[in-house]
Amino acid sequence: MWGGVLDRAGVREPETREGYTVQARAVRRFAPAEYMAARLLLPAQLQPDLIVLVAFMHETDDQIDRGSRAEREAALHRWGLLVSDALASGTSSDPLLRTLAWTVRRHPALRSRINAFLDGAAREVAWEQFSSEAEVGQYIKEYSLPALMLSMGLLAPQGEPEAAEFERACLALITAWQRLDFLEDLPGDVREGRVGISHQLLARHGLTVHDLHPELADTEPFGQLVVSEVDAAVVLLKAAWPIATLAAGPHRPFLRAVLRVQELRAAAVRKAGVSLLSSPSGPSKVRSVAALLLELGRRRLIR
């Protein structure tokens, strides 16, 4: 039960318990898969904090995802000031930021990770198209990786060189993850004019951004692009597996489940192929839940 989780995490004051509970309910609504994975597979002590970080990432993305570029930049500036004030004072009138401040008090190292994430959010606001693969890589390093490390930082090993190796494996994971995202989200991204596939990669397959409109598409070159991107993602996911051995034992079931779900996503994108031009893709919910339950069973056997 959630009350028992808060007890084991040392969250005892009624106001604080209510704050974490409100964020848990929100995450259960908008990110049910992530919520289920955390609740089933993470040690109780970390569940409230990781859930709040997921809520913070989601709210930040929501804050900077609407309007013109100038409006998004202004929204990021306002949000950044509110976050800074919350972390400096230890509280906020915003319920999420108040709970985030409590989490930073429990894990002070998170402060630098939050700052890195907000710094990287400026790149998320600015991008519309990527000219080169180098630009995609820079975007992933500056925004996607800091976003991932908000939560992964709670699970990272302490001390060098293990921490550095863990972060390198996280970079491989988020690079695969982000590239799969760009393919899965293609129909909506094309409509919005913010396509995550670089012009350089498109040209390699004889395509341009205009060719990504379903009514204009030459499906064979696009199908080849999907295969090459999935092949690259699979290689990256193999390189990411050290996160499941470098982390402390209690964190490993959750991390293995994360990796397996990404492998399922890669398989789903490969299967979708040219249909990605007209409809989004995603992993089988049944298989994703099965991956979580497999790790839950292994965790119980080890106990």
* Each residue's pLDDT expressed in tens, for the chain with a length of 303 residues: 899 999 999 999 999 999 999 999 999 999 998 899 999 999 999 999 999 999 999 999 999 988 889 999 999 999 999 999 999 999 999 999 999 999 999 999 999 999 999 999 999 999 889 999 999 999 999 999 999 999 999 999 988 899 999 999 999 999 999 999 999 999 989 988 889 999 999 999 999 999 998 876 668 899 999 999 999 999 999 999 999 999 999 999 999 999 999 999 999 999 999 999 988 787 777 788 888 788 888 766 555
Rounded to the nearest 10 degrees, how much is the dihedral formed by the CA atoms of 91, 148, 156, 99?
Answer: 20
According to the model, what pLDDT value does residue 218 have?
66
CA–CA distance, 179 with 191 (Å, rounded to integer): 18
According to the model, what pLDDT value does residue 216 have?
65
Structure tokens at 43: 């040690």
Q: Indicate which CATH number applies to the domain containing 296.
A: 1.10.600.10
Q: Mark whether 63 and 165 lie in a shared domain.
A: no
Domain that holds residue 294: 128-303
Rounded alpha-carbon distances, angstroms, from residue 172 to 18, 69, 84, 159, 291: 37, 29, 30, 20, 21
User: What sign has the CA pseudo-torsion 183, 185, 187, 192?
Assistant: negative
CA–CA distance, 217 with 95 (Å, rounded to integer): 46
Q: Mark whether 57 and 74 lie in a shared domain.
A: yes
Q: Mark whether 158 and 250 lie in a shared domain.
A: yes
Structure tokens at 76: 């990021």
Tell me how many domains the chain contains.
2
Q: What are phi and psi of 283, to 5 degrees?
A: -70, 160
CA–CA distance, 140 with 219 (Å, rounded to integer): 28
Q: Mark whether 116 and 221 lie in a shared domain.
A: no
CA–CA distance, 25 with 119 (Å, rounded to integer): 28
Q: Mark whether 152 and 216 lie in a shared domain.
A: yes
According to the model, what pLDDT value does residue 91 have?
96
Q: Mark whether 111 and 147 lie in a shared domain.
A: no
Structure tokens at 42: 């993470």
